[in-house]
Structure 1
Amino acid sequence: MKRRYGIPSIIVCIIFLIQLPWTYAYGEPSSEETREILQQSLSIVEIDHEIERIADRQKQLDKQRQTLSIQLQEQEDQIHTQQDRAGAVVRSYYTGERDSLLMTVLGARSIKDLFILYDYYQIIIGRDQAVLDKYQDRYRTMQQTSAQINQTSAELSELKNNLQNQRERVLALQKEVDGKVAASGDAAAMQKLMDELTIYWENIGIYEVKRYFKALASAMQNLPQFIQEQNGGISTTGTTYTIQIGQDELNTFLRSQNPIFKDFAFQFDKDRITASGQRDQLQLSIEGHYTVENEPQNSIRFHVDKLVFNQLELPDTTRRMLEREFDLGFYPQKILSFVKATEVSTTEGILEVKLAISF
């Protein structure tokens, strides 16, 4: 069950944190055992939130499926009527009725009669085509709705499995934490630490983490312009273009975008990117990598492989949630509209993107 805390609880939490020794509030926990218990308890909180997100999404999809089913029934009723009309048109051509009409036009005795009959013929043929086109449109719409229902049903089935897996994961983790707390020697004190950590995380921590991600996502929107302004930032060999960004250049750029990055820095290593920093009692470390993505559009997407908050690693559910909510990638076609990214790599101190002309 999701817990909500009011202002008095937050104040108590902050007072409690101030009274704790620096080894915990909020630096490295006093022991590896304590750190592990707190990390697992934080994971339980975050996986619980993921379960809530999945359940909410299930409700949305189920409602969407019901609406689509109603639309499909209405479309089926409409297409039956349209089908009869289209069938009558097709039969008229098959039996030669339209040929007889054409012969009547061709058999006109005067130019004036010819034009009058031809106008009638054009009107009839035009109406026939409109009937056939309307039938085809109805049929395509019905197929699309049916495909949407199938896709929604498949997503619901996948969500159901995911929900079950996450619930089993929470139960197993909770059982493990309960055992460690009982064996800690002071279960009451450990439980209090866990409760206060939960209060701190849900009322302060998650919002601070999101604040950094939001600032990063906003800054990345301006990265293409920054690259264009750098001398030597883009080089070309034949039809291949290369973008190189140094970690020092990127850090300078980020600090020009937002003062939050004053004590925050990116570091490029082989096939790995690390971003970390510390402000007041908040320590944050993000580790990830870039990939080239072509859907829904060509881009360099950042994937969070590891996320550590105040020495406590957050679970994969939190990483995926932040990836969905904040776009930390960038789009090479905002730099050169006629190219697309084909390869991205990192080496010590350098991020390199290969581009090719997009036909």
Structure 2
Amino acid sequence: MNKWKLMKLAICLLVIVSLMLESRLVVTAEPPSSYSAPPLVSEDEELQEILQSSLSIVEIDKEIERIQARQLILQEQLIDTELRLYEREMDIEQKREQAGKVLVAYYKGERIDLYLSLLKSRNLEQFLFSFEMIEYILSKDREVLDLFIKEQRDLQSLYEQFAAENEQLLYAEQELQQQRERVLTLEKQIDDQLSGRTDAERVELLIKQLTQFWEQQGIAHVEAYFEALAYAMNELPGWLQKNSQYLSYKGFNYTITLPEEVLNQYLQDYDPMFRYFEFDFKEDSITARGKKEDIDIEISGHYSIVEEPSNYIQFTIDELYFNGFSLPDSTKQELAQRFDLNFYPSLLVKFLRARSVAVTENELSIELKLAF
């Protein structure tokens, strides 16, 4: 009996061990990641151009989707405005008729008769009654005319709104056509270049790897850097208030002098992400570079002053590189719209306005003035 129990126990142990080994084999036999390490800048200039064009197509396609979505919204707004215009035009016809009757009454002198009734009053009570009636009629006249004028202004405002929305829609359609033409041109260029290569299949695989890596990891890292930079720039005025050694003033004039290494230290203290990121100041330009593992990002741009509608210092992205590949204008514009990298003097001191901004070797200088 004991032998049978021992045999059953041994069999159970063997089954458990075999199951464990099988499960371990299944885990270790998982397929590799859907993409390998991303292609980097190649010494093969044609290959580099093909990969660059393929990445541009991906981003331009996204811009086309954004434009199409904006078109739908504009079309809905246009239909709504057109419907409101029709309703307003119907309403104003009635107001125009009422206003016309009032103006005719004044033109024919009918309202003078009202004033004459005051002279015909036989006693004070009749005089006051006539006066109240005149005041009531004149107030109603004013209401009719004021309402007509308001309706006219509202109608004009709707016409202007309709025209602006229609212009935006036409611009979006032109922009969409331009982007589609860009995609077709790039696709034809890639097809022509691939047709002349003996390694076309390998290049197509590299295109796929680059596209997958950009969509699955690259864009998320770029957006993360932009988001962190936007928050850091928004809080820079508050940091300058606490670190007044970089801020000097004389009368109503203020000067911010920010060395390159100070800004880099501020960013590193602000967010650990910037340990892998560095600003480099050159004459009239700023370059920010960051590299971590398989992600290499470079942003180049310049500062300029915007006066209206509110005074601030705008950062314009001139170049944006991902792993050595230049991203198209549509991507730069979309990132600039989503993430605010500008500097607002009024956050430093109320009523401060930027007068000039200059970037020299290793230093950023901003001239400001109080404007009441």
Alignment of 1:163-242 (within 5 A): 163-242=176-255
My pick for the range that moved more, 48-57 or 96-105, is 96-105
Task: Decide whether the 8 Å contact of 2:57 with 2:183 is kept in 1.
Answer: yes
1:263 corresponds in structure 2 to 276
Q: CA deviation at 1:322?
A: 0.8
1:141 aligned to 2:146?
Answer: no
Percent of residue pairs bearing the same amino acid type: 37
1:67 has 2:80 as partner: yes
- Tell me which moved more, 175-184 or 317-326: 175-184
Confirm or deny that 1:46 pairs with 2:65: no
Residue type matched to 1:171 in 2?
L
| 1:263–1:84 Cα change, 3 Å | same
Secondary structure in 2 matching 1:222: helix
> 1:152 maps to what in 2?
165
Report how far residue 309 of structure 1 moved: 0.4
1:164-194, Cα deviation, whole Å (9 max, x unpaired): 2221211111111122223332111110110
* 1:80-119 matched pairs, under 5 angstroms: 80-105=93-118, 108-119=121-132
The letter of the residue matching 2:336 is E
Larger Rg: 2
Q: Is the 8 A contact 1:105 1:121 kept in 2?
A: no
Tell whether the 8 Å contact from 2:39 to 2:206 is kept in structure 1 after alignment. Answer: no
**Contact 1:26/1:282, CA 8 A, preserved across alignment:** no
Runs (5+) with no aligned partner, structure 1 = 1-10, 19-24
Other structure's SS at 1:346 match: strand
AA in 2 matched with 1:17: S
Match 1:288 to one of 285, 288, 301? 301
| 1:314 equivalent in structure 2 | 327
Preserved CA contact (<8 Å) 1:46 1:317: yes
Q: CA RMSD in A?
A: 2.2
Question: Please, what TM-score do these two structures have when normalized by structure 1?
Answer: 0.88
Residue pair 1:277, 1:284 contacting (<8 A) in 2 also: yes
SS in 2 for 1:90: helix
What corresponds to 2:143 in structure 1? Answer: 130
Residue 193 to residue 118, structure 1, CA distance change in 2 (3 Å): same
C-alpha displacement at 1:143, in angstroms? 0.8
| In structure 2, distance between residues paired with 1:31 and 1:267 | 29
Correspondent of 1:329 among 316, 330, 342: 342
C-alpha distance in 1 between matches for 2:243 and 2:32: 47
Distance 2:42 2:85 in 1: 58
| TM-score normalised according to structure 2 size | 0.85
Q: Are the counterparts in 2 of residues 266 and 274 from structure 1 also a CA contact under 8 Å?
A: yes
Tell me what 2:48 maps to. 35
Secondary structure of 1:17 counterpart:
coil
Amino acid of the residue matched to residue 80 of structure 2? T
- Check whether the contact 2:39–2:209 (CA below 8 A) recurs between aligned residues: no
> Judging changes above 3 Å, is the alpha-carbon distance between structure 1 residues 117 and 356 closer, same or farther for their aligned structure 2 residues?
farther
Distance 1:151 1:111, change over 3 A: same
Displacement of 1:214 in angstroms is 1.1
CA contact (8 A) 2:301 2:316 kept: yes
Output aligned runs, 1:242-253, within 5 Å: 242-253=255-266
Partner in structure 2 of residue 17 of structure 1: 36
Q: Structure 1 residues 113 and 312 mapped into 2: Cα distance closer, same or farther (>3 Å)?
A: same
Q: CA deviation at 1:298?
A: 1.7
Helix, strand or coil at the partner of 2:244: coil
8 Å CA contact retained: 1:270, 1:346: yes
Q: Give the match's secondary structure for 1:241.
A: strand
Q: Which moved more, 1:306-315 or 1:258-267?
A: 258-267
Change (3 A) 1:256 1:137: farther
> For the residues of structure 1 that align with 2:34 and 2:78, how far apart are their CA atoms?
49
Q: SS of 2:310's equivalent? A: coil
Tell me the distance in 2 between the aligned counterparts of 1:296 and 1:12: 56
